[in-house]
């Protein structure tokens, strides 16, 4: 069977929304996307017991109460249900050492879940920063990033620099536990994080799903994630499942 990859949704005007670009990129790399419903807040355990990867998708701002701050005047709209869903699913995915790809808001969710904090509004709190909310098509690359040596991201990009798109007004401030910075933009804003463990935990601030059709590096990012999900599924099949009680047997190393 093909691995099942959970994809977190947005909630807009009473509707669950998952952008087709996420789904298509995953399908093209040989895994089956599994969009999550709002009921997953109560059923997070069951979802993760039957999944082989997690994609934390982009979206709106996280309630700053999750990282013990008061709301900045420029904080955007927050969705408490989405926050609770993302943190519930992520906690169980991390417990199972499941492959995780976190995109834009997803990077911020991962960082906050690991005890990190956020810059709530780059233009006002970091006025020297580049424009990180580009006014250009989503497939357009608007700024460069510098990539650290010896990282998974460097292996994918095969270069010390890259070009990415940008659609965020928030960013990582204090880095969370067991995460390392692996890329920054020229203004110092953190653009990518990786987990310090042996499992695939990759978080990027840009939107590689919108670059996937025309960008080898974006495609390589999804391919590396999919390969990790395929390996995880094989191990879970051999061991009889990857529930929270079976975390260690599901660690490929």
Q: DSSP state, 9? A: P
Catalytic residue flag (residue 104) = yes
Residues whose CB is less than 8 angstroms from the CB of residue 20 and which lie 6 or more positions away in sequence, other chains included: none
- Distance between CA 215 and CA 218 in Å, rounded? 5
172 backbone φψ class: left, alpha, beta (φ>0; ψ -120 to 50): beta
Instruction: From the candidates 21, 29, 48, 104, give the one annotated as an active-site residue.
Output: 104
Catalytic hit among 21, 29, 209, 233: 209
In the set 48, 194, 207, 229, the catalytic residue is 207
Whether 43 is a known active-site residue: answer: no
Q: Report the candidate in 158, 150, 137, 146 with the shortest Cα–Cα distance to residue 220.
A: 158
Q: Is 209 a catalytic residue?
A: yes
Find out whether 251 and 236 touch, Cβ atoms under 8 Å. Answer: no
Catalytic residues: 104, 207, 209
């Amino acid at each position: 069977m093909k691995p099942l990859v959970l994809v977190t949704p947005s909630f807009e005007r009473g509707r669950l929304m998952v952008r087709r670009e996420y789904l298509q990129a995953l399908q093209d790399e040989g895994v089956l996307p599994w969009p999550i419903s709002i009921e997953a807040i109560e059923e997070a355990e069951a979802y993760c017991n039957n999944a082989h990867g997690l994609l934390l998708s982009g979206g709106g701002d996280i309630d700053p109460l999750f990282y013990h701050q008061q709301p900045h005047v420029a904080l955007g709209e927050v969705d408490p249900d989405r926050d609770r869903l993302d943190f519930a699913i992520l906690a169980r995915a991390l417990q199972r050492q499941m492959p995780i790809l976190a995109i834009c808001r997803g990077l911020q969710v991962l960082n906050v879940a690991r005890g990190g904090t956020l810059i709530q509004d780059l233009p006002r709190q970091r006025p020297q920063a580049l424009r990180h909310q580009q006014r250009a098509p989503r497939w357009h690359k608007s700024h460069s990033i510098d990539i650290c040596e010896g990282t998974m991201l460097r292996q994918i990009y095969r270069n010390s620099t890259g070009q990415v798109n940008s659609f965020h007004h928030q960013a990582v401030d204090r880095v969370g536990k067991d995460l390392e910075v692996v890329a920054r933009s020229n203004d110092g804003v953190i653009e990518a994080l990786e987990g310090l463990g042996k499992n695939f935990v990759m978080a990027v601030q840009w939107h590689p799903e919108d670059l996937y059709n025309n960008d080898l590096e974006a495609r390589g990012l999804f391919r590396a994630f999919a390969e990790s999900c395929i390996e995880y599924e094989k191990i879970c099949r051999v061991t009889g499942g990857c529930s929270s009680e079976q975390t260690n047997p599901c660690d490929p190393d």
